[in-house]
């Protein structure tokens, strides 16, 4: 696991990680509701960026966001536009349980793999054990859901493929924050403003829309949750947790989200909660908790001079 930032207390990192778990659990439920509505994935992405940019533009100016153009665009692409479009596209074809399993369970594995290849940061034996336990739990949770036949939804595999891409992009976002030592406020404000400037004109001029047929309640729900909670609170908290705990430990806490999503899906989406899910939930929680407590003595790579 990558080392935490020495100036940020670990308890604040755990608090931020807990906030991410809550936000992403709700994200899976709310996004699935949006995917089943008349709103298109492009509508939901537009609501996300319009609302978040409206709140973050004054902050972007006030804090004098110092991200160079290349880093700003890389962050906006990985943690903003393409991540959101892949995630919302997945929710149009696949259920919330799949997102919890593939995105939230896949981010820790993608983070570990990319850190190993990109940063030459090989996980130590305890980190590998934690990843293995969490991956086993995610696999157990997903066996019934991902392995069941879905004749009524032949394109479900496409939604799952979108979720895989979203997991990889979010892992890239976390690694960029760590590698470049980006302030959370710079990351969040930069993603919000840059994504809105690039995406919204394309959406207005070219992309299909269902927003004019959607009930106001759906628009308000998606606008508030996607634009405020997911785009701002979750992204800020994840960046803070990454700098406090390290990218590996921060990403591994997301492995708890399939469990919390499965629990909430029972009353909110009517999805069953079987015995295999209980086993998977237990394994994921143990692996994520163990991985979050692992420390590594080697320093995190320093950002190259600007």
Question: What does the pLDDT average to over 37-64?
Answer: 95
Q: Is 124 helix (H, G, I), strand (E, B) or coil?
A: coil
Percentage above 70 pLDDT, the chain = 84
CA 236/CA 111 separation, integer angstroms: 18
And the tokens for 246?
Answer: 């390290």
pLDDT at 147: 66
Q: How many CB atoms lie within 10 A of CB 302?
A: 9
Q: At 272, is the pLDDT very low, low, confident or very high (cuts 50, 70, 90)? A: low
pTM of the model: 0.81
149 vs 276, residue with greater confidence: 276
pLDDT at 297: 41
Look at residue 301 and tell me whether its pLDDT is greater than 50: no
Look at residue 160 and tell me whether its pLDDT is greater than 60: yes
SS3 content of the chain, % helix, strand, coil (to 5): 80, 0, 20
pLDDT at 210: 94
CA 304/CA 306 separation, integer angstroms: 6
Q: At 300, is the pLDDT very low, low, confident or very high (cuts 50, 70, 90)? A: very low
Task: Give the least confident one: 23-32, 185-194, 288-297.
Answer: 288-297
Look at residue 302 and tell me whether its pLDDT is greater than 70: no
Question: What does the pLDDT average to over 88-113?
Answer: 82
Look at residue 40 and tell me whether its pLDDT is greater than 50: yes
pLDDT at 306: 47
pLDDT at 73: 95
CA 266/CA 122 separation, integer angstroms: 38
């Amino acid at each position: 696991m990558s080392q935490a930032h020495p100036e940020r207390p670990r308890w604040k990192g755990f608090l931020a990680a807990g906030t991410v778990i809550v936000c992403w659990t709700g994200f899976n439920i709310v996004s699935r509701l949006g995917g089943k509505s008349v709103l298109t994935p492009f509508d939901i992405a537009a609501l996300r960026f319009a609302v978040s940019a409206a709140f973050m533009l004054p902050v972007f100016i006030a804090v004098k966001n110092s991200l160079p153009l290349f880093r700003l665009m890389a962050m906006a692409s990985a943690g903003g536009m393409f991540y959101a479009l892949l995630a919302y596209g997945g929710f149009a074809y696949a259920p919330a349980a799949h997102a919890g399993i593939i995105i939230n369970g896949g981010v820790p594995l993608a983070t570990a793999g990319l850190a190993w290849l990109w940063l030459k940061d090989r996980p130590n034996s305890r980190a590998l054990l934690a990843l293995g336990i969490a991956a086993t739990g995610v696999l157990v949770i997903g066996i019934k859901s991902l392995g069941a036949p879905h004749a009524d939804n032949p394109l479900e595999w496409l939604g799952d493929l979108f979720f895989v891409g979203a997991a990889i992009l979010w892992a890239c976002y976390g690694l960029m924050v760590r590698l470049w030592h980006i302030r959370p406020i710079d990351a969040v404000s930069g993603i919000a403003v840059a994504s809105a400037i690039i995406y919204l004109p394309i959406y207005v001029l070219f992309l299909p829309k269902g927003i004019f047929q959607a009930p106001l309640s759906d628009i308000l729900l998606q606008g508030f949750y996607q634009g405020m909670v997911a785009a701002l609170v979750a992204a800020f908290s994840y960046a803070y947790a990454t700098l406090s705990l390290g990218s590996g430990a921060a990403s591994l806490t997301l492995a708890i989200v399939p469990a919390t999503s499965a629990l909430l899906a029972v009353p909110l989406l009517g999805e069953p909660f079987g015995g295999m899910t209980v086993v998977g939930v237990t394994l994921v929680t143990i692996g994520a908790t163990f991985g979050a407590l692992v420390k590594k003595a080697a320093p995190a790579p320093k950002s190259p001079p600007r």
